[in-house]
Amino acid sequence: MAASATTHHTFVPAEIKERLQAYWSMIKSLQTGLLLSTGLAGYMSARCPVMHWPALLSQAGSLFLAISGSTVLNMWYDRDLDAKMQRTAHRPLPAGRLSPKAALRFGLLLSILGVGWALIIDGLFCAIVFAGLFFDVIVYTIWLKRRTAWSVVWGGISGGMPILAGRALGVGQIDWIGLMLALAVLFWIPTHIMTFSMCYSDDYRRAGIPTFPSTCGERATRWVIALASLAAALGMASAAYGIGMTWGYLRVLAVLSAGLLALAISSLLRPSVGVNFGLFKYASLYMLSTMALLVAEVAR
């Protein structure tokens, strides 16, 4: 079977291709890409318009490896939960396309390479990258995710580490702008995660994972989402102001933030599956757009 497949695909044998695809899907490229973009924007917010391409690419490589590593380790640890959820049952580990041992080795390798590379770049940068990995894998995934819905706060803290690391690498210290950027991401994460957990509430219930909707109710969750969206928008606005963003870009940021708040309030007042899904998708678009704004502002 494998031999016949090999004859059809002349360059890469089918088995290797499938294995590579399985490894690639373990790093959740979209989510990793979004977090990576925050790290790069944090760095560029300090260093542009003078571009240091080697430093930028080096930081990108280190962050990509560390974020991917923590993602793989999450999936390795949560493989039993993934198997119970319809949405995740097709992932390489529950579907049997990768062995747990191979996934663990892969996750550890990526993490060690990412943190090691970060150490070569800068000590403070490395400490923040390591903190992000530690909070994500140990505190969020292993310790709290199966115990309390509040684990989302720690997920948020780890999510804010790439942008803080990037900013700290750019300015050589942890400054208030970096903290505001990290807070903005921290408060954005509940919007992202809680809308998602409402979309797939049956799946989470089946797997026995405590989520805000299941423990506090959907209405309370929508309130948390609305308040977190407001806090994220305020954090982003204060950081943008601190960076010295021009009025033109601030106006665009205000428009984008108004969209986030409008959807969050709409989800509160007229809850529906559509609005919830829209808020989930828009939140990602919002984060990507605001990162692009930060970069565009300092690169102009």
Partner 1 sequence: MSKLTPADRVMLLATGLLAAYQVAFGIEGTGTLAMASFTVAFGLILLEAWITMILGFEVLESPTVVILSTVIPLGLSLGLVVEYLPGYRTIYLVFAALGLLVIAITRFASPGRIAALTVVVVHGVAGILIFILPLYLSLSGRLPVGFSLVSLGGGLIGLAGLLLSFLKTTRPLLSQQAIWSLLPGLFLLATLAFVVGFQFV
| Residues lying near partner 1 in the complex (CB under 8 A) | 248-249, 251-252, 254-256, 258-259, 262-263, 266, 270, 274, 277-278, 281-282, 285, 289
Could you tell me the smallest distance in angstroms from the CB atom of residue 252 to partner 1? 5
Could you tell me the smallest distance in angstroms from the CB atom of residue 296 to partner 1? 8
The 3-state DSSP composition of the chain as helix, strand, coil percent (nearest 5) reads 80, 0, 20
Could you tell me the smallest distance in angstroms from the CB atom of residue 30 to partner 1? 15
**What does the alpha-carbon distance between residue 129 and residue 157 come to, in Å, rounded to a whole number?**
12
Q: Pick from 78, 162, 75, 157: which is nearest to 115 by CA?
A: 162
Could you tell me the smallest distance in angstroms from the CB atom of residue 258 to partner 1? 7
Could you tell me the smallest distance in angstroms from the CB atom of residue 249 to partner 1? 6
Token digits for 121?
A: 């770049």
Peptide bond preceding 271 in cis form (omega within 30 of 0): no
Token digits for 258?
A: 């108004």
**What does the alpha-carbon distance between residue 50 and residue 53 come to, in Å, rounded to a whole number?**
9
Cβ closer to partner 1: 256 or 294? Answer: 256
Angle at 186 between CA 25 and CA 35, to 5 degrees: 30
Cβ closer to partner 1: 104 or 288? Answer: 288
**What does the alpha-carbon distance between residue 300 and residue 295 come to, in Å, rounded to a whole number?**
9
**In this structure, are residues 231 and 182 in contact, taking their beta carbons and an 8 Å threshold?**
no
The single-letter DSSP state of residue 11 is S
Could you tell me the smallest distance in angstroms from the CB atom of residue 144 to partner 1? 31
HSE-CB at 33 with a 13 A cutoff on CA atoms is 8
Cβ closer to partner 1: 138 or 296? Answer: 296
Cβ closer to partner 1: 228 or 256? Answer: 256
Cβ closer to partner 1: 204 or 280? Answer: 280
Q: Pick from 278, 250, 253: which is nearest to 264 by CA?
A: 278
**What does the alpha-carbon distance between residue 299 and residue 290 come to, in Å, rounded to a whole number?**
14
Cβ closer to partner 1: 25 or 289? Answer: 289
Cβ closer to partner 1: 95 or 255? Answer: 255
Could you tell me the smallest distance in angstroms from the CB atom of residue 87 to partner 1? 19
**In this structure, are residues 88 and 133 in contact, taking their beta carbons and an 8 Å threshold?**
no
Cβ closer to partner 1: 217 or 248? Answer: 248
Could you tell me the smallest distance in angstroms from the CB atom of residue 256 to partner 1? 8
